Structure 1
Amino acid sequence: FSAKASLMLPSWVSSCEIDGQVVFLDVLANRYSRLEKEAASALGRGDVDSLQPSLRRLIEDRHWLNSNAEGARSSCCAITRPAREHSAEFDMRSPSGRQIASAFRSLASARFTIALRGFDELLWWVQRNNTIAQTEGPPASNRSGLISAFEYVERFAIRRDRCLLRSIGLQHLLAQNGYESTLVFGVRLHPFEAHCWLQDDDLILNDTIEMVGPFEPIRAVR
């Protein structure tokens, strides 16, 4: 399956359906919205007149139906359903001192970037990191060692619930060492919650299937 922009909606808006409702992610506004399926279908058709006035105002304010609106710098990609966990399939090697130092630098870079950039700019930065990874040549460091190094740093410097910081930091570390990865965002309802994690194809790099399973993917960046 894949997360994609809804019919008639711009590329910076992604959606997914959960329990008869449709959740939207607007990366320019950095906001999630939720609609009943009937209203979402009307929106997808461009039938704005049938929507409630408050919803029409929201759509107009966010320029969802304005084809001339300035677009996002980032773009979404197809999402592969996660089926494997890195921690279950690969030996988690003891990280070297150099890898740990690199992990600390990537974490600092991620903190700085999250603090200073808007959400769309942050996602564009992730894509730029992957572009850099493509030009790095053969990876100079074992990926399992890098992941172990970042997990070591996490224990001292990041709360476990800081999924965006954890994922952005690890993505930067991997890219700096020649490894691409996909940043995936998911949502669930009752209560509403958003989560993100890193994947490489169907392999989860920094989480577990048990943890990400309840979340319906809504957008991915690579």
Structure 2
Amino acid sequence: MAWQLAPNVTFCIASGTVLFLDVGRDRYFALPDTLSPAFLTWLETAEVSDDSKGAIALLRAASIVRRVAQATSLEPVRISVPGRTLDEAARSSIGARSLAIWSRTRASYRRTRRHLRQGGLIGLIEAARTSRPASDDVRDPAAAAREFQRARGPRALEGDCLVSSFAMLDFLHRQGSDARAVFGVMVKPFHAHCWVQSETEILNDEVDHVRIFTPILVI
């Protein structure tokens, strides 16, 4: 018998701590520091020890992992964080705001809050996956992100990074652009954050800020 992550569960290794995100239950779960080293050794070498058995038993009791007949690979989330932020002038520009873009921005916020209210975190994520442009020929996400930021203002992320990030993602998708929402965590003290990035740029935050977080989920 072998083990695999339960559905809708991802994990990362942040400052030596193994931290799991269970989207279905909207919860985080951290292995105790005493069990993390043995668990990481088990991941890398399949070496079984009393501590690794204890870690697996704890994760199984928390419905984080489950037994399967065929061996699978348990891999932490990995994504490169771009080293560039959407240019400051574009993000903070007041400029002339198109009424149409302003209306679309408001509509994206309304849809995002509705998805979160009706379906929780997993409903919000599924809505984002469904709205993603299917075509490979998509519009530059930076251009659409600038429109969103101008309509929303330079403090769009303040207050609720989850809603603001998924509102931007909804706006980008409906404008024919694609990007990724990234969930990141830090430990001691624990803190979670969410932002939007393309392959080359952080679209709604600062590089120096997001780099203190370890990605744990990518949408």
Q: Give the TM-score, by structure 2 length.
A: 0.76
**Residue identity in the other structure for 1:40:** F
Indicate the SS of the match to 1:170.
Answer: helix
Q: Which moved more, 1:199-208 or 1:21-30?
A: 21-30
**Residue identity in the other structure for 1:41:** L
- Verify: 1:24 aligned to 2:20, yes or no: yes
- Verify: 1:188 aligned to 2:190, yes or no: no
Residues 77 and 216 in structure 2, CA contact (< 8 A), matched pair in contact too: no
Q: Distance in 1 between matches of 2:6 and 2:185?
A: 20
- Matched with 2:211 is 213
Residues 10 and 77 in structure 2, CA contact (< 8 A), matched pair in contact too: no
Show structure 1 runs of 5+ residues with no match.
Answer: 1-6, 69-75
Alpha-carbon offset, residue 188 of structure 1: 0.5
**Once the two structures are aligned, what percentage of the paired residues are identical?**
24
Q: Which moved more, 1:39-48 or 1:80-89?
A: 39-48
Q: Distance in 2 between matches of 1:148 and 1:101?
A: 12
Q: Distance in 1 between matches of 2:88 and 2:213?
A: 20
Q: How does 1:1-222 map to 2 (within 5 A)?
A: 8-10=4-6, 12-35=8-31, 36=33, 37-41=36-40, 44=43, 45=46, 50=51, 56=57, 59-62=60-63, 64-67=65-68, 79-88=79-88, 90=90, 92=93, 94-130=96-132, 133-135=133-135, 139=139, 142-143=143-144, 144-151=146-153, 154=156, 160-221=158-219
Alpha-carbon offset, residue 58 of structure 1: 5.3
Q: Distance in 1 between matches of 2:55 and 2:140?
A: 54
Could you give the per-residue CA deviations for residues 70-117 of structure 1, whole angstroms, max 9, x where no partner exists? xxxxxx985222211113375755431110111111111111111111
Alpha-carbon offset, residue 61 of structure 1: 4.4
Q: Distance in 2 between matches of 1:195 and 1:165?
A: 11
Alpha-carbon offset, residue 10 of structure 1: 3.9
Residues 197 and 206 in structure 1, CA contact (< 8 A), matched pair in contact too: yes
Q: Distance in 1 between matches of 2:152 and 2:88?
A: 17
Q: Which moved more, 1:190-199 or 1:84-93?
A: 84-93
**Residue identity in the other structure for 1:160:** E
Residues 134 and 178 in structure 1, CA contact (< 8 A), matched pair in contact too: no
Indicate the SS of the match to 2:184.
Answer: strand
Q: Which moved more, 1:20-29 or 1:108-117?
A: 20-29
Q: CA RMSD in A?
A: 3.4
Q: Give the TM-score, by structure 1 length.
A: 0.75
Q: Distance in 2 between matches of 1:167 and 1:65?
A: 32
Residues 104 and 153 in structure 1, CA contact (< 8 A), matched pair in contact too: no
Could you give the per-residue CA deviations for residues 38-71 of structure 1, whole angstroms, max 9, x where no partner exists? 2533774596974687983652341511449xxx
